[in-house]
Structure 1
Amino acid sequence: MGIFDIFTKQFIDVIEWVDDAPGILSYRYPMQDREIQNGAKLTVRNTQLALFINEGKAADLFKPGLHTLTTNTLPILTTLRNWDKAFKSPFKSDVIFFSTKDQIDQRWGTSSPVIVNDVKYGTMRIRANGTYTYKIVKPEIFFSKLSGIQELYTTTDVENQLRSIIITSFASFLGNLQMSFIELAANQVELSQNLKKALAGHFANYGLSLESFFVQSISLPEEIQQYVDKASSMSVLGDLNKYANFQTAESITLAAKNEGGLAGVGASVGIGAAIGQSMQGMLNQNNSQNNTDSDPMELINKLHDMHTKGIITKEEFESKKAELLKRIK
């Protein structure tokens, strides 16, 4: 080392990270042309951890507190550098601070629909989104797998990786879940808890702890949602005969509220009866239509028409026709 190198080299006697702004996960202390004095002070705040790096490999980890840097407090680095215990000279090493704050309100969502096998409606494409919270608990793993020696590593840098983990686990989890979409949407709290358990191990692989995970909404493509809504409405209506009777009773009640005394009431009853007859006629027509539809020859003709128009294939037509012909006695 020349005499001019001694004058230009800077020696560090205090190491700390003051500006740990939101969203910053790790910060590499600037070490260019600088060496750490033996006996220098390292300050690690309550929401931080500090890791010494030797030639790209994690060495000594420091928890919150004020530390004096000597060969006694840097046992791993001392071993890696083959230092003598009486080593007193300045030394060079990378020091990386990690934030242990909860990284709250992180967003996840399916950029494209996830295909699941609904136990009631069959194969469906669903979308979902929500929030999650995580924090760094194993800086050595986080450093080796994600941040490296970047000057700054933020939540934005790791966002895509974590989102990919979540979406993949979400699709895999739903693929093995024997539950209909309606049940799924109605049990989002339980779904969130189960997914959190399933994801915890994946986050741990990167030195992270998944503190919370929430599924905030689950939705279907619009055309599928309309079908589900229609099916749900038919289920609510139930038996059409009962529904017709209910509508008739409601109509009579509303008509009876018209003015006109007993004559008005009589007229209202007549109106109600007419409405009831009309509803019954509709039901009879529907039943007649059902009977026609159940006629095998009629159904075969309809199937042939569908085949001619290209709605169904020839194989589908022949298969269904053979099935219907068996019903003819």
Structure 2
Amino acid sequence: MSSTDNLIFLENLEWFDETGQELLHRLPERGSGEIKFGAQLTVRESQAAVMYYKGRAGDAFGPGRHTLRTGNIPIITKLLSAPWGMTSPLRAEVYFINLKVFPNLKWGTRDPVAFRDSELGFVRLRAHGIFNVRVIQPVLFINTLAGTMGKYSTEQIEEYLGRVIVSRLNDYLGETLDTLFSLPAQFNEMAEELKKLLISDFSRFGLALDELYIGSITPPDEVQTAIDDRSRLGLIKDMDSFVRMKAAMAMEKAAAAGNEAGAGLGMGMGLMMPHLFAGMQNNQSAAKTQCSACGKAVAAESRFCPHCGHATDEKPATVICSACNSENLSGAKFCHGCGLKL
């Protein structure tokens, strides 16, 4: 288009987001322009537009076709701009704002966050998730965040908003979370509460946090291993039987190997087995007690003696010796104190 055409024809302003990631796009893309009186502006349903004229923002334009009014009259304004090098001082630009929801923006901790767990003590946590954002106040968004930039994409805002989310998450965990073991069942509730804390942080830029999801909150590998070990121990009711089973399985694998290494391992396990069973026998003997009536060995958990039928928690009947007043078990033939026949 020649310079003569620029003097005569009016602009037809519209914009399409080909990338799907632009929150804002300015026309003209470089600097400001001489938008003429009567220029046509077309705004789509998912957009809003704001014209800045003489450095000030006008009202936001909604969907539809709009006629713009400026002081730039075709041909006349150009001729009157001679003192400014044939460039009109009545500068204008139009900002298109994408009002759609921008999904799948990522947030996460760059460094582990210290947290006091009621059961594990101090642990360091990492957290990750996604969030959706959209523009709800176009003029506020331009004036506070985008400024005079020609383009503003989710890539430019994702990192900053992600740090804001992590900061609020740290505060929330410190105030409400008791232990990591209750975390998995609370992700949805935590996300909802976290959204409430972030409303003011987003709205000050003309943005709305549409959705927030917590993907994971995880401790370091060593803490995770300790949690897994604790879970396994909770499933094992009889530790002695578990150890013996593992030892027997190791011997079976060693025998199946059929080589020198397997033979050596089998021999080593064979030497260990007597100690394992000896420990089992010691545990069994330690679990026995003596019947107070007949004096024979009785299992500690038994309620009655299998030899005489006496209740283990009942005091046995006694006989007093007439000679030395010693107390003897009922049924004794001789006094244990003086030997007198009872």
Q: Same fold judged by TM-score > 0.5?
A: yes
Which of the pair is proportionally richer in helix?
Answer: 1
Q: How does 1:55-70 map to 2 (within 5 A)?
A: 55-70=54-69
Query: Which deviations, in whole Å up to 9, do the C-alpha atoms of 1:151-210 show, x marking residues without a partner?
Result: 111111112211111111111111111321111133222222222222222111111111
Query: Which deviations, in whole Å up to 9, do the C-alpha atoms of 1:283-309 show, x marking residues without a partner?
Result: 889xxxxxxxxxxxxxxxxxxxxxxxx
Query: Which deviations, in whole Å up to 9, do the C-alpha atoms of 1:69-125 show, x marking residues without a partner?
Result: 248xxxxxxxxxxxxxxxxx9953121001011111111111111112223222210
Q: Are the equivalent residues in 2 in contact too, given 1:11–1:36 (CA < 8 A)?
A: no
Query: Of the candidates 17, 20, 23, which is equivalent to residue 22 of structure 1?
Result: 20
CA distance in 2, matches of 1:183, 1:283: 38
Aligned residue for 1:126? 125
Q: Are the equivalent residues in 1 in contact too, given 2:33–2:91 (CA < 8 A)?
A: yes
- Secondary structure of the 2:48 match is strand
Say yes or no: does 1:12 pair with 2:6.
no
CA distance in 2, matches of 1:36, 1:204: 31
The 1:182–1:280 alpha-carbon spacing in structure 2 relative to 1, beyond 3 Å, is: farther
CA distance in 2, matches of 1:148, 1:283: 80
1:282 offset after TM fit, Å?
5.6
Aligned residue for 1:220? 219
Query: Which deviations, in whole Å up to 9, do the C-alpha atoms of 1:198-257 show, x marking residues without a partner?
Result: 22221111111111111111211111112222333334446xxx55579999xxxxxxxx
Query: Which deviations, in whole Å up to 9, do the C-alpha atoms of 1:38-94 show, x marking residues without a partner?
Result: 2322111011110122454432211111112248xxxxxxxxxxxxxxxxx995312
Q: Are the equivalent residues in 2 in contact too, given 1:129–1:218 (CA < 8 A)?
A: yes
Q: Are the equivalent residues in 1 in contact too, given 2:53–2:90 (CA < 8 A)?
A: no
Aligned residue for 1:187? 186
Aligned residue for 1:38? 37
CA distance in 1, matches of 2:153, 2:179: 38
Percentage identity across aligned positions?
32
CA distance in 2, matches of 1:55, 1:14: 20
The 1:194–1:279 alpha-carbon spacing in structure 2 relative to 1, beyond 3 Å, is: farther
Equivalent position amino acid for 2:127 in 1: A
Equivalent position amino acid for 1:281 in 2: N
1:18 offset after TM fit, Å?
2.8
* Structure 1 gap ranges (5+): 72-88, 250-273, 286-329
1:8 offset after TM fit, Å?
6.0
Q: Are the equivalent residues in 2 in contact too, given 1:12–1:35 (CA < 8 A)?
A: no
Q: How does 1:281-292 map to 2 (within 5 A)?
A: 281=282
CA distance in 1, matches of 2:90, 2:46: 27
1:20 offset after TM fit, Å?
4.6
Aligned residue for 1:313? none
Aligned residue for 1:300? none
CA distance in 2, matches of 1:169, 1:113: 15
CA distance in 2, matches of 1:213, 1:50: 27
The 1:223–1:137 alpha-carbon spacing in structure 2 relative to 1, beyond 3 Å, is: same
CA distance in 2, matches of 1:218, 1:64: 42
Equivalent position amino acid for 2:188 in 1: V
Relative to structure 2, which stretch is displaced further, 121-130 or 187-196? 187-196
Q: Are the equivalent residues in 1 in contact too, given 2:10–2:36 (CA < 8 A)?
A: yes
Q: Are the equivalent residues in 2 in contact too, given 1:9–1:34 (CA < 8 A)?
A: no
Say yes or no: does 1:97 pair with 2:120.
no
- Secondary structure of the 1:37 match is coil
Relative to structure 2, which stretch is displaced further, 94-103 or 5-14? 5-14
Q: Are the equivalent residues in 1 in contact too, given 2:32–2:92 (CA < 8 A)?
A: no
CA distance in 2, matches of 1:212, 1:181: 24
Equivalent position amino acid for 2:153 in 1: T
Aligned residue for 1:171? 170
The 1:284–1:191 alpha-carbon spacing in structure 2 relative to 1, beyond 3 Å, is: farther
Q: How many residues align?
A: 241
* Structure 2 gap ranges (5+): 71-87, 246-274, 287-342
Equivalent position amino acid for 1:174 in 2: L
Aligned residue for 1:160? 159
